[in-house]
Amino acid sequence: METRLVPISEIRKKGVWHFQPYSQAVQRLEADLAQSQFPVIKLQDFVDNAKRGFIQKSIGETDGVLLIRPINLTPIGLDLSEVAYITPADHNKLPQTQLQAGDVIISLVAPSQQTIAAVYTEDRPANITNNLARLRLKSNIDPAYLAYYLNSNLGRNLVESQMTGSVIRTTNLSSLLELPVVYPSLDKQHQIVLYVQNLQQKAIQLSKQGANLQAEARQMFDRVLKEEAA
């Protein structure tokens, strides 16, 4: 187990008492950020409005308003193949967490997959569960860039460094808004987004090719047996 003597001045500066933010891993992250060629700005400076989701009690299975959960967040965006629903009446009771296109959705629990955040791009109503947060951003940052940043190794490590708990590790919205964000110009952000999207498309294509080749390999003995029988 890692141990370290932490000066009280550092504790006062960070304002947290659990060990993770003072670990060697976080110190390395902070050193990397200090060497950034771009400004490093707190997430809260890009956020016009932020809300955590509410506990949903009435969840339908087949119809209603989309209810986004952490399992819907993937590295390439939202996967809506398996969704829950709430009634339109319940959705209307929760106006603060209703989603609109361009909102960034962030998981407040340690992700089971390699995804912390995703951008909501749908044109239909949706809401979020209480283990997600909804960020409505100002115009000074590209939502896709922020999502990719949070899903990067750097972003994931920063978010997870804030998490506490032994069984289920979580963070809160106020801590999340203190997160440092590497902030290139908007033009540079757009370039980064296009670059990542191109890589993701290539990865999807290679994955499909791999699946087709695996299927062909599984069918090989069927063909061999038929040829032998003939």
How far apart CA 179 and CA 12 sit, in angstroms, is 17
Same domain, 179 and 209: no
Residue 162 is assigned to a structural domain of this protein? yes
Output the tens digit of pLDDT for each of the chain's 230 residues: 445 444 455 545 555 444 455 455 567 777 878 888 999 999 999 999 999 998 766 565 567 899 999 999 988 889 998 888 988 988 999 999 999 999 999 999 876 666 899 999 999 999 999 999 999 999 999 999 999 999 988 888 888 888 777 677 888 999 899 999 999 999 999 999 999 999 988 888 887 788 787 877 777 766 666 665 55
68, containing H or E segment? strand 65-68
Same domain, 85 and 154: yes
* Residue 167, φ and ψ in degrees, nearest 5: -85, -60
Helices marked H in 35-128 — which ranges?
88-92
Query: pTM (2 decimals)?
Result: 0.79
Same domain, 220 and 127: no
Same domain, 170 and 190: no
Same domain, 222 and 160: no
How far apart CA 172 and CA 131 sit, in angstroms, is 9
Structure tokens at 71: 């399992």
Give me the helix-helix angle, 153-161 and 24-34, nearest 10°.
Answer: 130
Number of domains observed in the structure of the chain: 2
Same domain, 180 and 206: no
Same domain, 112 and 137: yes
Same domain, 135 and 66: yes
Q: Please say whether the beta carbons of 176 and 159 come within 8 A.
A: yes
| End position of a domain, from candidates 184, 200, 221 | 184
Same domain, 149 and 207: no
| End position of a domain, from candidates 184, 201, 220 | 184
Structure tokens at 22: 């003072």
Same domain, 225 and 132: no
What is the per-residue DSSP string for 138-195? -TTS-HHHHHHHHHSHHHHHHHHHT-B-SSS-B--HHHHTT-EEE---HHHHHHHHHH
Residue ranges making up the domain that contains 222: 185-230
